Structure 1
């Protein structure tokens, strides 16, 4: 049961900015989304956001509303029940991966941090299988009753 309704759990999967979007959705709406597995997600460090992300958001103020770090802090209690996030980060976003893990640990949020994925930050299918595998691992922990995963 999520959001007070019985329905299939919604899982999120994302690469780079898509990983940021997946984390943002989960951290803004932990009652609507069950799990997120992200690969090289941006904006988990305390550095200034890349101007391109501000442009995508429309403004710095709008980007602040979508600040994954702040939303992790706001909803820390809701995200403590079981591991709901799997992180993979490398290359230019390795600092984000490290900072994201440190924040999750400081907030007491269980999560998986994995390294069994490609080492290059480029869109291709190589990141997808490990991200899905870790999403399914999260699901097994979050939804231990197999009947909850059948739909």
Structure 2
């Protein structure tokens, strides 16, 4: 049993260190199920914006002065920040720095391009390759499933 104890300790330490490492650098681990944000709030949270709850009267007053559902630039703790007041979903403020804003813009553009490409692929274009492939496989000449009936009679 004594030689087995150091092995258990080493494996335990390795698992502890592996559990503490960041998975954000690995795209498969940061989004393992291929989740795509559906709303602007989801995209903000995924981009690195943090939520601030409105727990003081000063925050509520500042919340009411911001344009609703628009990202605007302001100063937070002496640094430039981007804020998004959400009145409908959480009644909170999303706040992020320049890096979070840049990530939000990049992901928003990618999402718009992706939705536009999906719209184009679903069109009634007769030269659409996905539609053509569906037609090809529907009546393919090498489908001889009916021919087997001739040999069974």
Bin for the TM-score computed over the shorter chain: under 0.3
TM-score (norm 2): 0.22
Larger Rg: 2
